[in-house]
Amino acid sequence: TAFNDAVAKAKPLNAFIVETPEHALAAAKAADDARAAGETPKPLAGVPIGMKDLFATKGVQTTAASHILEGFTPPYESTVSQRLWDAGAGMLGKLNLDQFAMGSSNETSYFGNVISPWRRNDGGNAPLAPGGSSGGSSSAVAARIAPGATGTDTGGSIRQPAAFVGISGIKPTYGRCSRWGVVAFASSLDQAGPMARDVRDCAIMLEHMAGFDPKDSTSLDLAVPKWEAGLSGDLKGKRIGIPKEYRVEGMPEEIEALWQQGIAWMKDAGAEIVEVSLPHTKYALPAYYIIAPAEASSNLARYDGVRYGQRALPEGANLQDMYAATRAAGFGDEVKRRILIGTYVLSAGFYDAYYTQAQKVRTLIAQDFENAWTVCDLLLTPTAPSAAFALGEKSADPLAMYLNDVFTVPSSLAGLPAMSVPGGLDKSGLPLGLQIIGKPLDEQGVLNASLAIE
Ligand code: GLN
């Protein structure tokens, strides 16, 4: 009943698309049985987690929060979820998200908005966005429904929702977690990672999500470090870079104050603070919103009504009509917008002007970080330029929504590990997050600096 209670508590938040308390219960039972038999329990024995509905789960509907995949039941399990089950965890359910992980507020889901469990304390009682695209994950963990949840991060979808609800989340180095069985959005950017109440839980979960997978050609063939055992909030000898270009125009004073507080905590932990410059930062967002849609338009070509999920077949329709009707009915507005942008920037006449240009910018951004690593070990920035906004506040203005990703996108383009950790509350009592960005494969450094903030 504890699992059923947890799932019932989640109802008003709309965090779950499908509930699977029986899956979590089976894991709990297996853990009990193992203990009764005198066996050493598995590392995540019986831990009930939430699974973002972007991970394919064998025999359990997997939708990417889209209509086009409604009713799709994969006959296979994603590598990341399989690893979690192998470590003894169980699944409470499939968590809501922005459709195909496109969004920053969880308002593009076919299954409705997810609501943050937080409210402002200054009278405004409007329901708040839980961030996106991993809004079901952030909401469920913040509401203490699940101790941890999986997320995916293409341009900030683990870090920004974690920041909005006062939890922690880490996007590892690109290639650490297998993308096999994760519904593809922008394959050169997509990375899975954990979202949990604190840094330690993130370290533990990540150890059981990461690892080489021959089924993903971009998977890194490296051993998974013992991140939890390596945790230390002592930053003596570490140089923390403060990128001056992240001081963006119009940034609220509270965000600046949060950043200063973060700097003070880093110093208390023994770190040395250095100012650094990442000169191409301002081009990251436009480059991301060319590259991600370009890859998405290619990845989403597979939803044609033939192989997956929904099919719309009007009277007398030929194959072309069936494709068109299926895609018109199956994709939401934001997904269609991305497909249109993506096919446009990849079209013969505009490819060089947009896509090639964006790829060059991506290289320059990666070089900015490389240069920064010659003078510092880690970077400290705010996670997002604002606290959680109200549902509906930005949904009519895609550009305003895209701007919320300004601090998370550059490290995604460079494939770097980055984590959001709660840093404090704003005037209206809403959580704000600080972001730590690390060198490739330095998840340990990122986790440790985050621990010093926590
Ligand atoms: N908000 C960004 C977007 O809409 C990032 C999404 C993500 O990381 N999945 O593309």
For 1-223+231-454, CATH number out of 3.90.1300.10, 2.30.42.10, 1.20.200.10, 3.40.50.300 equals: 3.90.1300.10
Which residue puts its alpha carbon closest to atom 10 of ligand 1?
102
Ligand 1 atom nearest the C-alpha of 412 is: 8
Catalytic residues: 52, 133, 157
Domain ranges of the chain: 1-223+231-454
In the structure, which protein residues have their CB atom closer than 6 angstroms to any atom of ligand 1?
A: 101-104, 133, 153-157, 185, 292, 405
Ligand 1 atom nearest the C-alpha of 152 is: 9
Residue numbers in the chain where pLDDT is lower than 50: none
Alpha carbons 15 and 138: distance in angstroms, whole number: 9
Ligand 1 atom nearest the C-alpha of 189 is: 8
Q: How far is the CA of 106 from the centre of ligand 1 (A)?
A: 10
Which residue puts its alpha carbon closest to atom 5 of ligand 1?
155
Contacts 24+ apart (CB under 8 A), 303-308: 303/68, 303/69, 303/327, 303/330, 303/331, 305/330, 308/68, 308/69, 308/72
Q: How far is the CA of 364 from the centre of ligand 1 (A)?
A: 21
Ligand 1 atom nearest the C-alpha of 338 is: 10
* Per-residue pLDDT tens digits for 125-137: 899 999 999 999 9
Q: How far is the CA of 153 from the centre of ligand 1 (A)?
A: 7
Alpha carbons 433 and 91: distance in angstroms, whole number: 27
| Whole-number Cα distances in Å, 302 to 70, 296, 298, 308, 362 | 15, 11, 8, 8, 26
Alpha carbons 114 and 133: distance in angstroms, whole number: 10
pTM given for the model: 0.97
Residue 307: per-residue pLDDT? 85
Residue 185: per-residue pLDDT? 98
Residue 308: per-residue pLDDT? 80
| Whole-number Cα distances in Å, 79 to 83, 181, 321 | 6, 6, 36
Residue 362: per-residue pLDDT? 98
- In this structure, are residues 51 and 40 in contact, taking their beta carbons and an 8 Å threshold? no
Q: How far is the CA of 438 from the centre of ligand 1 (A)?
A: 20
User: Which of 98, 109, 291 maximizes ligand 1 atoms within 8 Å of its Cβ, making it the mutation to test the pocket?
Assistant: 98
Q: How far is the CA of 185 from the centre of ligand 1 (A)?
A: 9
ipTM of the complex: 0.98
Q: Which of 379, 142, 147 is nearest to 243 (CA)?
A: 379
For CA atoms 161, 163, 169, 174, the dihedral sign is positive
Task: Characterise 365 by phi-psi region: left (phi > 0), alpha (psi -120 to 50), beta (else).
Answer: alpha
